[in-house]
Every structure is written in C-alpha cells, then in structure tokens.
Amino acid sequence: MREAPLRDRIAAILGRLTPAERKVAELVAADPAAIPASTLAALARGAGVSEPTVIRFCRALGLEGFAELRLVVVRAEAGGAAPAPRPIAPGMPAGEAAAAVLEGAIATLDAARRTLDGELVARAALALLRAARVEIWACGASFPAARHLEGALLGLCRGVAARDDGAMQGLAAATLEGDAVALCLSRSGADRDVVEAARIAADGGATVLAITRPRSPLAALATLTLPCEAQEGGAPGNPAALLQLALAEGLASAASLLAPPATPARLQRLLAARRARRIEA
C-alpha cells in the first residue's frame, strides 16, 4: 500500500501538535525536498525550536526520528519504496548475476548515503572514543562487520573486544557500567542474544549504540541508532550485508578523524604488532 504524501500526513496530525511542533511541521511542509540535505540541528534552528521537539514531531508522524523522516522524503522523490534488487535465479548467466548484485548494492548504499545523519555518526564516534571499554556484539551474518570494527577501533579506543557468543555477550554485559559502550550490530534488530545483552548493559548504565533496523527491539534499547534498513533477500545477492559493513566503516572513519593523535610510543607499538602478523617477502 502506497504511503500518503508527506504534506498530507502532516496535515492529518496538525491539530494534535504543540505550538513548537507546529513550527517544525510548517517548515517541513513548506519545503520537504530540503530535508535530505538538512540535519537535525539545522531543522531545529530553522524552526526556532529544540532538537527534542523535532524528534517529537517525527514521532507524531509515526516515524522513529529525523533519519527516518529523511528516508521518507528520499523514497517519495524516487517514486515510492526502493525497488527490490533483481533476484539471482537458477540459470541466470554468471556475469548477469554479478551485475544484479552490484546494482542492488549500489542502490542500497546510495539511499543510505542520502539519509545518513552525519551528526548522529559523530556523536556515536565520540561516545566510543570517550569510553573506558568498548564491547562489540553481533551474531551470524552481522559478525564480519563487528570483527571489522574491532580491528578498526583497536588503535583508537580502550578495551575493544568483539564477541559473537551469546553467553559471553551476556556475561560481559553484566560487568559494564556508565563509562562503557556496547556497540550492537543486528540486521533484524531482533537477535535474541544481542538484544538481551544490550538490555543488561543499558540496565547497568552503559551507553548502547546500535547499527540495526529502526523500530526494532534493539533500536528501542539503544541510546543512539545508526539506521541499517535494507531490503533483505535470500543469499546470494543480499545488499543488507554490504550496507552494514559500510556503516561500520563510516563509524570507524569518523572515530579516526575525531580521535586525538596517538603518542609516538603507542604508534610504534601498534605498527610493530601489525608488522609481526605479516609474512615478509
């Protein structure tokens, strides 16, 4: 079923909004096409309201937050929901199958690029850099992205460890306190072990970051969520795997740019450890 145009959705809720939320509604309705290039802070400034007011407006529309508002606008500009990638069918020529996989990945990454909230990424990166300990949890197909993040953050953050065993995730979660960050990766946002570990970590006061599907059980527990919303498909040719890895790399890159320079001694130790793992010609 096709979603109603954004202006119609705003008009339907206008009477239920507070005066401050109405300012946001009027600004968005006046120029929806400006939303993908904007940020949460810029929209709040433009409307003369606080950032939480913008979030409340988004939720009044039935959206998770500003990132999903941007996604709604992008989809509307594209004529609706993103098309499903071409399926990889038996008998399809190998070259054509490879091209279909790349087409699906390009479309998925482009949609994510246009709706990515850079301020949210920066806040997540700063949380990682300030943490006394960083636990990274995932399972199944999400674990390669978690392992990639572990390697990328080892030289930047303290106490970095990636885990895919549910029992160990739960035990580690029980030891986390307010100075720790739990970074959870799940495409569905409903992986039982990861969600339960995130719940335990949040109860202990840790900051929970998530790369997952909005409006999922994991997203509901997270302090900050980087939306990973790709059309799931059966293997092979699933663009969701590449999107999750790309978001992980984007987060690691942001942390690298925001991190203070490593001391010469620390840098030398890191370089020596990396060289020791290589086979020299």
Question: In 170-195, which positions are buried (b, 16+ CB within 10 angstroms) versus exposed (e)?
Answer: bebbeebeeebbbbbbbbbbebebbb
281 or 25: which leads in pLDDT: 25
The pLDDT, as a whole number, for residue 190 is 93
In the predicted model, is pLDDT for residue 2 greater than 60?
Answer: no
Is the confidence at residue 63, as pLDDT, over 90?
no
| Residue 1 pLDDT class (50, 70, 90 cuts) | very low
Q: Evaluate if pTM is beyond 0.75.
A: no
**In the predicted model, what is the mean pLDDT of residues 88-97?**
77
Pairing of strands 133-137, 160-163: parallel
Residue 35: pLDDT above 70? Answer: yes
* pLDDT above 60 for 79: no
Sign of dihedral through CA atoms 240, 244, 247, 249?
negative
User: How does residue 280 score in pLDDT terms, banded at 50, 70 and 90?
Assistant: low
- Over the stretch 121-164, which tens digit does the pLDDT of each residue have? 999 999 999 999 999 999 988 999 999 999 999 889 999 999 99
Confidence at residue 99, expressed as pLDDT on a 0 to 100 scale: 79
Which range, 3-7, 65-69, 71-75, 261-265, has the best average confidence (pLDDT)? 65-69
pLDDT at position 77 is 64
Domains and CATH numbers, the chain: 6-77 (1.10.10.10), 118-264 (3.40.50.10490)
pLDDT at 199: 97
Quick check: 213 pLDDT over 60?
yes
Calpha distance 12→2 (Å, rounded): 16
* 198 — pLDDT class (breaks 50, 70, 90): very high
| Whether pLDDT at 78 is above 80 | no
Contacts of 55 (CB under 8 A, 6+ apart): 40, 65, 66
- Report the distance separating Cα 281 and Cα 265, nearest Å: 27
Give the residue-averaged pLDDT of 25-34: 91
Instruction: Give the pLDDT confidence score for residue 174 in this predicted structure.
Output: 97
Q: What is the 3-state secondary structure (H, E, C) of 236-279?
A: CCCHHHHHHHHHHHHHHHHHHHHCCCCCHHHHHHHHHHHHHCCC
